Amino acid sequence: MLVRGQGGSEDQTVTPGGHALGWMTKGILSKETYYYRGVYLDAVRALEVIQSFPEVDKHRIGVIGGSQGGALAVAAAALSDIPKVVAADYPYLSNFERAVDAALEQPYLEINSYFRRNSDPEAEEKAFETLSYFDLINLAGWVKQPTLMAIGLIDKITPPSTVFAAYNHLETDKDLKVYRYFGHEFIPAFQTEKLSFLQKHLLK
């Protein structure tokens, strides 16, 4: 899925409160205007469109992705029963309260920068309330599909503890592959694990 505003498309929605660096704080003071509200809905709509194609077997649709894509895979599965399986490499957008303390690189640090420039306790409270609606730890319990996740223990972008948090909140058939010597990067061994997992659940 081409995420709104991040590729060749423009984001025409009204989402105040963001800044030039990126998307993490765009519309952050309200769940109605937060950037990822639209992105999550786009993911669900994409599944609906894919399912409508006559050449697609609607019983063999899965969602996969890494980082932001991993978050969208989990969120889409939580919000739609169309996907039958989930595979997510180091999924992002989880356990925001922990992430802003543990992340060493962008884009979680955009949130830190936002609070440094806007040192208003009330705004901070509103922002974290907004983020809670899009946090994978609060969506994970809705996921009913078999789910495979991976995390590299030296990931500076998606702190491993935030992935463990999302995984621990899943209440479905699940597995987590942990890679001690990898960070936020392509993990060759996981690709084999992922393909086997997808074949197991989609080629029955």
Catalytic residues: 67, 155, 184
How are strands ordered across the β-sheet holding 147-152?
62-66, 85-89, 147-152, 174-179
Strand-pairing partners, residue 52, are: none
Q: Give the chain's end-to-end CA distance (angstroms, integer).
A: 26
State how far the Cα of 23 lies from the Cα of 19, in Å rounded to an integer. 8
State how far the Cα of 118 lies from the Cα of 16, in Å rounded to an integer. 14
